[in-house]
Chain A
Amino acid sequence: MTRIRDIDRVLIISTLLLVVLGVVMVYSTSYVVAMKRFGDEYFFVKKHLTYAVAGVVLMIAASRVPYVLYRKMAYPILIAAAVFLILIYIPGIGFSAGGARRWIRLGPVAFQPSEPAKLAVIFFLAYSLAAKRDLIKTFSPGFLPNVLIPGVIIGLIMFETDLGTSLALASIVFLMIFAAGVRLRYILGSLALLGLGLWFVVHNFRYMMDRILIFVDPWKDPEGKGFQMIQSFLAFGSGGIYGVGLGEGRQKLFFLPEAHTDFILSVIGEELGLIGVAGVVAFFVVILACGMKVAMKAKDLHGQYLALGLTFMVVFQAAMNMGVVMGLLPPKGLPLPFISYGGTSLMVNLVAIGILLNIYIRENEA
């Protein structure tokens, strides 16, 4: 029993440590830029801290809401997500930042609908896969709806040129249907189709092609398109094993673009060294382990799939972000969960942890 009790505690502590590290790193990374742009070195960290507190409150709230709700509400939530994604294109509500149209504003709140859309897809899949457990080996309804319906959402996200999020979400979908027992040949077949489609898309959008080419050889254009990649390498290299010390990093001084968002791990690498990077990786592995444990112990199949999907969402995105900043994957524009600056992403990930805790609690109650 004590072992199981440990799970929620370890999960909460790991998550909160990452969040705290995020707040510290956002400050360390952004104060110079914040000072320059807004005359207030705390500009970014104040906002980030607000989101973190709100996120933790949401996490606690989510841990109290019975997860059965997500089964009952799976379709309404999915439809809402799709509506929000379409709202982006309505003038006055949707707006763009950083070259991509990804934001909507409702009253005082601005957020990226693609982040909660990930939750909606996972809710739907968990419900759908659990509901069709006996027909899972069939092409339809075992495979096709579980790919097509998320595919619509993913398509909408991809359309707003958020390739990173859509790829991450697609991967989560495939991981979930694989774990749920969908026939391997369907999965591989659709992956092949997807690859073809991707090839087509990449060829038609110059910025994606650029990203791939830069990934292949960032040194070809170190002053231009390879700049960000190389600056990231230089940050890691400067850090060595022990790092140059918190706040002492230099790459964030306008060299490394988006240092406080997508490339925050590079700054961790520079300031906290290999030890810091390994620590972050370790915490995500711990979260993965806890998530898997919760999934294994879930009292029903829906809880199992839900736990899987949420864990994948957090950990897969972490791995992808790390792969990008280290030059293992083409640049994609994905934040590092819990750490990167960015309110919507932080809150959605904390909600995911909250739901995991609820699944674990429900299991214990039984």
Chain B
Amino acid sequence: MRRRKKAKADYFKLRLTVVVGLFLAAFGVIIFRAVQLQIVKGPELKKMADRQHRKTLNLQSKRGDIYDRNLKALAVSVEVDSVFAQPDKMESPRATARALSRVLGVSSFEIEKKLSGEGRRFVWLKRQVDLKSEDRELIRGLEGVGIIKEGRRFYPNRQLASNLIGFTGVDANGLEGVEKYYDAMLKGSSARLTGERDAMGRVILYDDLDKAVPLQGMEVELTIDKTVQYIAEKSLKKAVDSFNAKGGTAIVMDPLTGEVLAMANQPSFDPNDIRRYGSGSWRNRAVTDTFEPGSTFKLFLIAAALEENIVKPESRYFCENGKYRVADRVFHDTKEHGWLTVTEILKYSSNIGTAKIGEELGSEQVYRYLKAFGFGKRNGVDLPGEAAGVLRHPKDWSKVSLHTISFGQGVSVTGLQMVTALSAIANGGFLMQPYVVKSVKEPGGRPVAETHPAVVKRIISEETASKLTRMMVESTREKSTGELAALPDFEVAGKTGTAQKPDLKKGGYARGAYIASFLGFVPADDPRLAILVTVDEPEVEHYGGTVAGPVFREIAEESLAYLGVFREGAGAPKVEKALMHKEAPARAAGETFEIRPMAVPDFTGKSVRMVMRMSRERSFDVEIKGSGRAVSQSPPPGSSIPSKRPVKVEFR
């Protein structure tokens, strides 16, 4: 009996051992599997997990604001809600759609349609929507629906400078204008981050991510002056409306620096609501569109003739009493003239007189000077879509090309090219690099990039510029073509233009389709503003003087008053004076380099190589004597860069 019991106990023990053995085997397999997963396959699995978590996130950094030159806001970013859904995470799309319909103002049928796509993991329901806080709560309470903060662009001045500033798309990328050209900076170059995300695709913030949190986009400060821009737009719109014109542009430039102070376009649009406007109104015509300049172009031909000493302002030309036959063409003047001085040719805008001056100058010289003034190639302004215009090489010219180009036909230009070339006359002969962005700054205000005035090339001498300026002033006196552009308090140097538009379908010129323009700067003796006004296809009136002249006057008068420029007596030659204006603060800052681009810098103590580099940057020639460090120079520092002679520098 006892033995049996013992045997039974042993039997129990044996069975127990079997069971324990099974368990231990099972745990052994588990440990084996853990080793396999965590060590053998570990790195491979980890890589997969990383790929899943780490995703290059376009953490929408706040897009940088755009300011005018006085730091008045032109484009700002505000945070708004965007609602998304993850259809595979919701139980009843229908119920969700019904709940969201009221909040989003979208029919529940439409929402349901968006949610019903097979296998959709993410879908936007409505982007950039203004939500009340209780609506936000409601959305947060729904499964599979969420809110992402997105930056929306807001343009507080609506239409103001819209063609220049451009606008952004719903993904906050710049699509036009400054928004497009400076997109990378406005976005913030470090906005792309590698971050953690969870299975719902949301960003999980860890400590180390905090430090790298999306940089804000850079702020962009324009050369535009909001008030001048407003004046230009208001005046242009008035003319375009009253003459029932197709469009127009008005550009205001600081002739001494090449800074664009205003760039007005018609038609225009409200960038806050671009869909309401046709894409035709988005263009910044001042740089994207070309036109035949017509009579305003005569300025540059006469500048070339003066510079080459072929004519003097008082030289006389016979204007053929209004009919001048060249090859198979007959050129006409609007009024019949006999003998005219060059000044009068400009004043009465005689095509025949200008053509004859062109003849004397010759194709090669005309081409060379027009090229130098910047025609036929892009100015390289910091705006997208700039056109180059057309200035053919003389070898492609017909028998009458020289004549027509002389008075502005058979070439095409952009408005910006015209103002930039005009500025060269206004500032004593320097073709400046035009630009619209003064500086790019970090959100804290530290400048990242600054644009300084830069001389592209010296084209004409100060003497030529000064003579031409006097002639232009004559063109705005009473009984001249430009009399309506004259200001009571300031002398205006200007030129009218009335160009027939080419007929693109039939060839030749379209009947009754004109571009009326006025090109001028004020005050003539101390230019502060260089202005181009063009009005596209005005009705009833089409003369540049009557259509564009008054616009010019209004812009000039109001802008000068706003800028605090008052009448003063004629003084020193204008460029010297301009330089003196800018010289004093420059000296104080100990920086003679960038502030005064038209002055000869101080080379004292600089190496030969440095001097070469500095002269190249300013586009003038140097004559080098000796070696070592610069000890003397001629002309002295601060004087105007000579147009023909090189700057002599002695080294020892």
Q: Considering the complex of A and B, which 4 residue pairs feature the smallest CB-CB distances, nearest first?
A: A237-B45, A253-B198, A254-B199, A236-B37
Chain B, 33-57, contact with A by CB distance < 8 Å: what is the 0/1 string? 1110111011111101110110000
Cα A328 to Cα B13 with chains together (Å)? 29
Tell which of B20-28, B315-323, B475-483 binds the partner. Answer: B20-28
* Cβ contact of B49, chosen from A251, A274, A278, cutoff 8 A: A251
Cα A7 to Cα B19 with chains together (Å)? 20
Cα A327 to Cα B36 with chains together (Å)? 12
Tell which of A18-26, A80-88, A173-181 binds the partner. Answer: A173-181
The answer on a CB contact under 8 Å between A234 and B49 is yes
Q: Is A295 among interface residues, defined by CB-CB distance under 8 A? A: yes
For the side of the interface on B, what is the size category? Answer: 35 or more
Can you list 7 A-B contacts (CB < 8 A)? A178-B15, A237-B42, A255-B198, A269-B38, A288-B23, A295-B16, A326-B37
* Cβ contact of A326, chosen from B11, B34, B39, cutoff 8 A: B34
Q: Which residues of B contact A32 (CB under 8 A)?
A: 198, 204
* Cβ contact of B35, chosen from A180, A274, A323, A327, cutoff 8 A: A274
* Cβ contact of B34, chosen from A250, A274, A312, A319, cutoff 8 A: A274
Q: Which residues of B contact A292 (CB under 8 A)?
A: 16, 20
Cα A315 to Cα B24 with chains together (Å)? 10
Chain B, 491-508, contact with A by CB distance < 8 Å: what is the 0/1 string? 000000000000000000
Q: Which residues of B contact A273 (CB under 8 A)?
A: 38
**A248: nearest residue on chain B (CB-CB)?**
B206
For the complex with contacts A237-B46, A250-B53, A254-B199, 8 further pairs of A-B residues with Cβ separation under 8 Å are A32-B198, A233-B37, A240-B46, A250-B196, A255-B52, A255-B198, A285-B24, A296-B13
Cα A277 to Cα B27 with chains together (Å)? 11
Q: Is A113 among interface residues, defined by CB-CB distance under 8 A? A: no
State the Cβ distance, B196 to closest chain A Cβ, in Å.
Answer: 6
Chain A, 236-261, contact with B by CB distance < 8 Å: what is the 0/1 string? 11111100000000110111000000
> With A179-B19, A292-B20, A328-B33 as given contacts, are A237 and B38 in contact (CB-CB < 8 Å)?
yes
For the side of the interface on A, what is the size category? Answer: 35 or more
Cα A221 to Cα B603 with chains together (Å)? 74
The answer on a CB contact under 8 Å between A274 and B27 is no
Q: Is B78 among interface residues, defined by CB-CB distance under 8 A? A: no
> With A181-B12, A274-B35, A285-B24 as given contacts, are A233 and B204 in contact (CB-CB < 8 Å)?
no
Cα A234 to Cα B52 with chains together (Å)? 10
Q: Is A127 among interface residues, defined by CB-CB distance under 8 A? A: no
Cα A312 to Cα B15 with chains together (Å)? 14
> With A236-B38, A253-B204, A255-B199 as given contacts, are A181 and B20 in contact (CB-CB < 8 Å)?
no
**A270: nearest residue on chain B (CB-CB)?**
B49
Q: Is A122 among interface residues, defined by CB-CB distance under 8 A? A: no
Q: Is A202 among interface residues, defined by CB-CB distance under 8 A? A: no
Q: Is A334 among interface residues, defined by CB-CB distance under 8 A? A: no
State the Cβ distance, B208 to closest chain A Cβ, in Å.
Answer: 12
Chain B, 104-133, contact with A by CB distance < 8 Å: what is the 0/1 string? 000000000000000000000000000000
Q: Is B31 among interface residues, defined by CB-CB distance under 8 A? A: yes
The answer on a CB contact under 8 Å between B199 and A285 is no
> With A254-B200, A274-B38 as given contacts, are A238 and B45 in contact (CB-CB < 8 Å)?
yes
**B17: nearest residue on chain A (CB-CB)?**
A292
The answer on a CB contact under 8 Å between A179 and B16 is yes
The answer on a CB contact under 8 Å between A240 and B30 is no
Q: Is B330 among interface residues, defined by CB-CB distance under 8 A? A: no
**A-side binding surface: helix, strand, loop or mixed?**
helix
Q: Is A154 among interface residues, defined by CB-CB distance under 8 A? A: no
Q: Is A281 among interface residues, defined by CB-CB distance under 8 A? A: yes
Q: Is B449 among interface residues, defined by CB-CB distance under 8 A? A: no
State the Cβ distance, B138 to closest chain A Cβ, in Å.
Answer: 15
Residues of A whose CB lies within 8 Å of any CB of B are 32, 175, 178-181, 233-241, 250-251, 253-255, 269, 273-274, 277-278, 281, 284-285, 288, 292, 295-296, 304, 308, 312, 315-316, 319, 322-323, 326-328
Cα A304 to Cα B19 with chains together (Å)? 14
Q: Which residues of A contact B580 (CB under 8 A)?
A: none
Q: Of A250, A304, A322, which is in contact with the most chain B CB atoms at under 10 Å from its CB?
A: A250
Q: Is B29 among interface residues, defined by CB-CB distance under 8 A? A: yes
Q: Which residues of A contact B13 (CB under 8 A)?
A: 296
The answer on a CB contact under 8 Å between A250 and B46 is no
State the Cβ distance, A142 to closest chain B Cβ, in Å.
Answer: 14
> With A175-B19, A274-B38 as given contacts, are A237 and B26 in contact (CB-CB < 8 Å)?
no
State the Cβ distance, B141 to closest chain A Cβ, in Å.
Answer: 10
Cα A241 to Cα B26 with chains together (Å)? 21
The answer on a CB contact under 8 Å between B30 and A234 is no
Q: Which residues of A contact B43 (CB under 8 A)?
A: 237
The answer on a CB contact under 8 Å between A281 and B31 is yes
* Cβ contact of A179, chosen from B15, B24, B41, B44, cutoff 8 A: B15
Cα A269 to Cα B38 with chains together (Å)? 8
Chain B, 216-228, contact with A by CB distance < 8 Å: what is the 0/1 string? 0000000000000
**B199: nearest residue on chain A (CB-CB)?**
A254
Q: Of B11, B31, B35, B49, which is in contact with the most chain A CB atoms at under 10 Å from its CB?
A: B49
Q: Which residues of B contact A322 (CB under 8 A)?
A: 27, 30
* Cβ contact of B41, chosen from A237, A278, A285, cutoff 8 A: A237
The answer on a CB contact under 8 Å between B45 and A233 is yes
State the Cβ distance, A349 to closest chain B Cβ, in Å.
Answer: 16
Q: Which residues of A contact B196 (CB under 8 A)?
A: 250, 253
Cα A274 to Cα B35 with chains together (Å)? 7
The answer on a CB contact under 8 Å between A253 and B30 is no
> With A178-B19, A234-B49, A277-B34 as given contacts, are A328 and B29 in contact (CB-CB < 8 Å)?
yes
State the Cβ distance, A336 to closest chain B Cβ, in Å.
Answer: 12
Cα A221 to Cα B18 with chains together (Å)? 39
Cα A78 to Cα B8 with chains together (Å)? 29
Q: Which residues of B contact A175 (CB under 8 A)?
A: 19
Cα A315 to Cα B19 with chains together (Å)? 12
* Cβ contact of B39, chosen from A178, A274, A304, A312, cutoff 8 A: A274
The answer on a CB contact under 8 Å between A250 and B49 is yes
The answer on a CB contact under 8 Å between A179 and B12 is yes
The answer on a CB contact under 8 Å between B198 and A254 is yes
State the Cβ distance, A86 to closest chain B Cβ, in Å.
Answer: 28
State the Cβ distance, B236 to closest chain A Cβ, in Å.
Answer: 55
Q: Which residues of B contact A274 (CB under 8 A)?
A: 34-35, 38-39
The answer on a CB contact under 8 Å between B27 and A239 is no
Q: Which residues of B contact A326 (CB under 8 A)?
A: 30, 33-34, 37
The answer on a CB contact under 8 Å between B48 and A315 is no
Cα A236 to Cα B38 with chains together (Å)? 5
